[in-house]
Structure 1
Amino acid sequence: MADKSKFIEYIDDALEKSKETALSHLFFTYQGIPYPVTMCTSETFRALDAFEARSDDIVLASYPKCGSNWILHIVSELVFAVSKKKYTCPEFPVLECGDAEKYQRMKLFPSPRILTTHLHYDKLPQSVFKNQAKKHFMETVESVSWGSYFDFAINWNKYIDNENVKFILYEDLKENLVVGIKEISEFLGFSLADEQIRAISAQSTFQAMRENSQETHGAIGPFLFRKGEVGDWKNLFNETQNQEMDERFKECLAGTSLGAKLNWNSVASMCPAAS
């Protein structure tokens, strides 16, 4: 995953900036979608358009707080199991976050590069599609910046059957992590023995990630890895809010390919304590 010192430094800096910024000025809009000013800039987005993707890049896409750090850890361990080289990224791992010069520095990174993003599919750089980078699409629900969860889901739904897109559901990883990791490995074209898959699974449980979160992610660790329980929404959502979410889901995703893959009763139950 990302170099932990760089990750912690970036997050600590973003947290300090947020303390100094009025709530009404914490977000800016780029191409109709709100982003946090403490992590993204218009200059970075403009530079991102010229980002040069590689055919062996691995793109991990999810809505914020939907398990992106978990899946980043899993994929990093899979790459390590194949290459025998520990994967580290000297940049903050979210593609659209950071300064505008990061993409020039990323040209020097060894392959395969693991890129995480919270962008809509059609907001990704064109080189990602041209060079057919492998893309993982992680699903669950939480409402924060980067726009509406439903807009994100509707946009990715258009490409869910693309051969270079692998759809991963948070609740499926929670239910059977070994099977989930094996499917991810096969999608990436990795040939790993069952004992390797089980070893990666043992060190990639949500509990293991949470116990190490302070060391790996600094002060924000406990926030990134909270309960991770399916069903915890009952302690946070009232009946009216749950009904509103059900109606919104039906309005936006019922009848879609993505909607058919989602068990909405379970998926909604992971909001908002998913990752």
Structure 2
Amino acid sequence: MAKTSANFMDDDDFTHVVKGIRYPPDVTKDNLEAMVNFDLRDDDIIIAAFPKAGTNWMLEIVNKILSAGGRTDASSDDMVGKLEFTYPHEPRPRHVMLQECASPRVILTHLTPDTAPPVIAHPQNNVKVIVVMRNPKDTAVSYFHFEQKLRSRFGRKPIPSWDEFFQLFLAGKHTYGCYFDHVLGWWERRDDPHFLFLKYEDMKQDLPKAVKTVAEFLQVKMDDASIETIAHACTFSSMKAALDNSRYGDRTVNARKGIVGDWKTMFTDEQSRMLDLKCKTKLEGTGLHLNFE
């Protein structure tokens, strides 16, 4: 008899639950508790996104904008690392190491506003928060493939099947919890000028426009030629080469297809209907509309 999704996750020694949300092994309860006292600098830039929604893509864009504007000489690899993580190859948690990073810091997180440091959930002064959102069907498919590659790379048991993963994702029982709670938690801050919201699908449709929007948000003056150069450097094919050669193991398995609509290769008609219903229930009346094509 096949295991139920709940039993599979219960048997997974590589995840744990903190306050009702399941996290990967690199996110400890101690780290999450320490987040409360995390200090921001006035020129910090935060990228917040649900896993597999475009975090690394936005990091490349931000890094290249800052580089072009003369604000940093660091590479995106120097900036990578989730705020809430403790990486096996690093002796200290990422939030501690960030204290020693040169400004401007680019801080990545998959946390919700309720679990992120209060200074990120309620930014002040010149702090900038970029929230990237991707439709949940493509997010789920990308997350499933990423998880399988990551588990294989580090000798962990695979998720039994796509059907198992889909049920976990739909129920909000996979790592980082409910997709909808995550995006809606940040979306509530859409009228706060400290926040910029970008959709993965809009970035795919018009990347130069997205680069220009981010540059303006970060108050970096750029001409059209520079914007086009950055957009070209941040296309999927260009960025995949950079990620594949990253010194971070989890980053090397990040880039797969980078397209909109790949969910059609995995979703059954019934699964598509179930997630459509979830979207309608969760998003109706919020003003948030997601694109699946």
Q: Given the two structures, how large is their TM-score scaled by the length of structure 1? A: 0.81
What CA deviation, in whole Å up to 9, does each residue of 1:67-98 have, x standing for no partner? 11110111011111112632246575211111
SS at match of 1:251: helix
- 1:105 corresponds in structure 2 to 97
- 1:50 corresponds in structure 2 to 37
- 1:60 corresponds in structure 2 to 47
Determine the C-alpha separation between the residues in 1 that align with 2:58 and 2:78: 18
SS at match of 1:249: helix
- 2:131 corresponds in structure 1 to 137
* Contact 1:173 1:180 (8 Å CA) reproduced: yes
Determine the C-alpha separation between the residues in 2 that align with 1:192 and 1:111: 20
SS at match of 1:137: strand
- 1:225 corresponds in structure 2 to 255
Determine the C-alpha separation between the residues in 2 that align with 1:249 and 1:40: 28
SS at match of 2:52: coil
Determine the C-alpha separation between the residues in 2 that align with 1:212 and 1:91: 14
- 1:207 corresponds in structure 2 to 237
User: Aligned-pair RMSD on alpha carbons?
Assistant: 2.2
Task: Please tell me the residue identity of whatever aligns with 2:59.
Answer: L
Q: Given the two structures, how large is their TM-score scaled by the length of structure 2? A: 0.76
Task: Please tell me the residue identity of whatever aligns with 2:228.
Answer: R
> What is the CA-CA distance between 1:33 and the residue it aligns to?
1.3
Q: Establish whether residue 29 from structure 1 lines up as the match of residue 17 from structure 2.
A: yes
Which consecutive residues of structure 1, in runs of 5 or more, have no partner in the other structure? 1-20, 267-275
Determine the C-alpha separation between the residues in 2 that align with 1:91 and 1:206: 19
Of residues 64, 69, 79 in structure 1, which corresponds to 2:56? Answer: 69
* Contact 1:53 1:131 (8 Å CA) reproduced: no
Determine the C-alpha separation between the residues in 2 that align with 1:103 and 1:242: 38
Task: Please tell me the residue identity of whatever aligns with 1:172.
Answer: D
> What is the CA-CA distance between 1:221 and the residue it aligns to?
4.8
* Contact 1:47 1:100 (8 Å CA) reproduced: no
Q: Establish whether residue 164 from structure 1 lines up as the match of residue 152 from structure 2.
A: no
What CA deviation, in whole Å up to 9, does each residue of 1:18-74 have, x standing for no partner? xxx99522221222211012x111111122211101121111010001111110111
Alignment of 1:89-128 (within 5 A): 92-98=80-86, 101-128=93-120
What CA deviation, in whole Å up to 9, does each residue of 1:239-269 have, x standing for no partner? 000000100000001221223xx23x33xxx
Q: Closer, same or farther in 2 for the Cα pair 1:217/1:207, shift >3 Å? A: farther
How many residue pairs are counted as aligned between the two chains?
242
Task: Please tell me the residue identity of whatever aligns with 2:32.
Answer: F
Q: Closer, same or farther in 2 for the Cα pair 1:218/1:58, shift >3 Å? A: closer
* Contact 2:82 2:94 (8 Å CA) reproduced: no
Query: Greater CA deviation, 99-108 or 187-196?
Result: 99-108
- 1:250 corresponds in structure 2 to 280
Determine the C-alpha separation between the residues in 2 that align with 1:252 and 1:22: 27
* Contact 1:44 1:100 (8 Å CA) reproduced: no
* Contact 1:136 1:166 (8 Å CA) reproduced: yes
Determine the C-alpha separation between the residues in 2 that align with 1:102 and 1:229: 30
